[in-house]
Amino acid sequence: MKLTTRIAVTTLILAGGVGRGTATAQRPDISGRWTFNASQSDKPRDMMQGDTAGGEQRGEGRRGGFGGAQSDSTVTLTPESDSALVLSSDGRKIKQKVDGGGDIEIKGRWQGNDFVVERKVSGAGKVTEDYLLSQDKKQLFVIVNVQGPRGRDIEFRRVYDATTS
């Protein structure tokens, strides 16, 4: 190896540009409090034409807002009126029991700069939420895709504004 090549490779290694293990990419930070912005969000009730689930339109949860927190290996979502959901950010699944039968299988993972949460309900379809932070970090967009068990799918957007303390 030529001296100039060795110097260049050594400089890259010392600067963190090359190495055996790649460093974890810098992920957007969705930590903080987020308030639902109804005027910029889609209205799934209008899109679903009266299809209800338990008195509430499917997918319209977390309307008041929620808290987010993250570390290198987890993302925590805490709705205002519910307990925290701590997800491993590497796609590992967790199961939650549902009163009255069935289980919900939940997993979270980073897909590029988006954090994706998938919920599979035994015998009832799948809900995917794709969390995208705006470039100015003032809004959080959540693209929700509901796949029903009978092939009826719907996709809508929820928009949240960052709450300043």
What is d(CA 59, CA 39) in angstroms, rounded to the nearest whole number? 17
Which pLDDT score, from 0 to 100, does residue 27 have? 86
pTM over 0.75: no
pLDDT digits (tens, 9 = 90+) for 77-129: 988 877 888 999 999 999 988 777 778 999 999 999 999 999 998 778 899 99
In one-letter notation, the amino acid at residue 32 is: G
Sign of the C-alpha dihedral computed for residues 117, 65, 96 and 31 taken in this order: positive
Please name the residue that has the structure tokens 């190495």: 19
What is d(CA 89, CA 43) in angstroms, rounded to the nearest whole number? 29
Closest listed residue to residue 66, CA positions, set 50, 87, 49, 82 = 82
Give 43's DSSP letter: -
Token pair in block for residue 50: 């009266």
**What is the rounded end-to-end Cα distance, in angstroms, of the chain?**
56
What is d(CA 61, CA 89) in angstroms, rounded to the nearest whole number? 22
Helix (H) or strand (E) holding 136: none
What is d(CA 34, CA 139) in angstroms, rounded to the nearest whole number? 8
What is d(CA 107, CA 34) in angstroms, rounded to the nearest whole number? 21
Percent share of the chain, pLDDT over 90: 51
